[in-house]
């Protein structure tokens, strides 16, 4: 199990909750010493254009401080996907998040759709023919859904508020895939905006994904950070998820 991380993710590039000081530190400190940390390289504009339009790319370029870290976030997701196909699960501890970034627009603290770009690159390079994206963030990933809405080779699935473990099992049982990608949002936590999931719930979701990946796609799985805003519990909940996911 590897954690993809870069010190530049600690920089507060805007004033929104995803960019708040201390957020990355809360997670990194909980995971240090437990997993190998690896650094990503920034993505290229061509990587971004696998999902986004040139107009959207140019819009984010105009946000000078955001653009640099957003490319690095995409690079982190790409690195995690690469590691998954080298035989290890990976977690991209990155920001800005991405699942509200559609091909030509974005909102909700997102700029480029990290997980969508990583999955699309796997498809374009022939590493994967079919993929599923599981999203357990509090909010529906409209950007990811929009990116793949007319596709049969990539399916996006957002977990419901209730009965999420059983729903996840039913979804994964019914699908065929070469990799499971995860939009890992932790704002469902009992002490966060959603008030829905305990640390044990996060561990169980991670375990279900691990077991289905081992049974159906030789263990190929990776996750990328989306939401999660209570710094006091964020590290604990990410750690619990990875305990099940690793």
CA 217, CA 246: separation in Å to the nearest integer?
15
Q: Do residues 168 and 209 make contact, with C-beta atoms less than 8 angstroms apart?
A: yes
Those residues with Cβ within 8 angstroms of residue 124's Cβ, 6 or more apart along the chain or in another chain: 50
Those residues with Cβ within 8 angstroms of residue 81's Cβ, 6 or more apart along the chain or in another chain: 90, 118, 119, 121, 122, 179, 181, 222
- pTM over 0.95? The answer is yes
Nearest to 238 by CA among 208, 196, 202: 202
Q: Do residues 145 and 100 make contact, with C-beta atoms less than 8 angstroms apart?
A: no
pLDDT digits (tens, 9 = 90+) for 98-129: 999 999 999 999 999 999 999 999 999 999 99
Give me the catalytic one of 6, 52, 56, 100: 100
Mark whether 100 is an active-site residue. yes
Give me the pLDDT at residue 64, please.
87
pLDDT in tens, the chain (246 residues): 999 999 999 999 999 999 999 999 999 999 999 999 999 999 999 999 999 999 999 999 999 899 999 999 999 999 999 999 999 999 999 999 999 999 999 999 999 999 999 999 999 999 999 999 999 999 999 999 999 999 999 999 999 999 999 999 999 999 999 999 999 999 999 999 999 999 999 999 999 999 999 999 999 999 999 999 999 999 999 999 999 999
Q: Do residues 194 and 187 make contact, with C-beta atoms less than 8 angstroms apart?
A: yes
CA angle 74, 109, 150 (to 5 degrees): 65
Domain at 56, CATH number: 3.40.800.20
**Domain assignment of residue 90, given as a range:** 2-245
Q: How many domains does the chain have?
A: 1
How many Cβ atoms are within 10 Å of 41's Cβ, its own excluded?
12
For the residues of 135-162, what is the DSSP string, one character each? Answer: E-SSS--HHHHHHTTT-SSEEEEEPPSS
CA 194, CA 130: separation in Å to the nearest integer?
31
Give me the pLDDT at residue 139, please.
98
Give me the pLDDT at residue 229, please.
98
Element (H, E) at 107: none
For the residues of 4-20, what is the DSSP string, one character each? Answer: E--GGGGS--SSSGGG-
């Amino acid at each position: 199990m590897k954690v993809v991380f870069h010190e530049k993710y600690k920089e507060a590039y805007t004033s929104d909750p995803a960019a708040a000081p201390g957020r990355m530190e809360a997670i990194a400190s909980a995971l240090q010493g437990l997993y190998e940390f690896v650094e990503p390289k920034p993505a290229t504009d061509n990587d971004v254009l696998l999902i986004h339009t040139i107009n959207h790319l140019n819009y984010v370029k105009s946000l000078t401080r955001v653009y640099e870290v957003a490319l690095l976030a995409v690079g982190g997701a790409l690195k995690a996907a690469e590691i998954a196909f080298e035989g290890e699960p990976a977690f991209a501890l990155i920001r800005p998040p991405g699942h509200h970034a559609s091909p030509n627009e974005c909102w909700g603290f997102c700029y480029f759709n990290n997980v969508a770009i990583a999955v699309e690159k796997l498809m374009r390079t022939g590493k994967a023919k079919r993929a599923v994206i599981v999203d357990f963030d509090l909010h529906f990933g409209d950007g990811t859904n929009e990116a793949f809405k007319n596709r049969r080779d990539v399916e996006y699935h957002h977990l419901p508020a209730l009965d999420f473990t059983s729903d996840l099992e039913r979804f994964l049982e019914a699908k065929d895939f070469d990799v499971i990608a995860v939009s890992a949002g932790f704002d469902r936590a009992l002490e966060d905006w959603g008030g829905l999931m305990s640390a044990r719930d996060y561990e169980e979701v991670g375990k279900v994904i691990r077991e289905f990946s081992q049974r159906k796609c030789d263990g190929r799985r990776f996750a990328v950070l989306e939401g999660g805003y209570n710094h006091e519990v964020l590290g604990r909940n990410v750690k619990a998820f990875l305990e099940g996911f690793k």
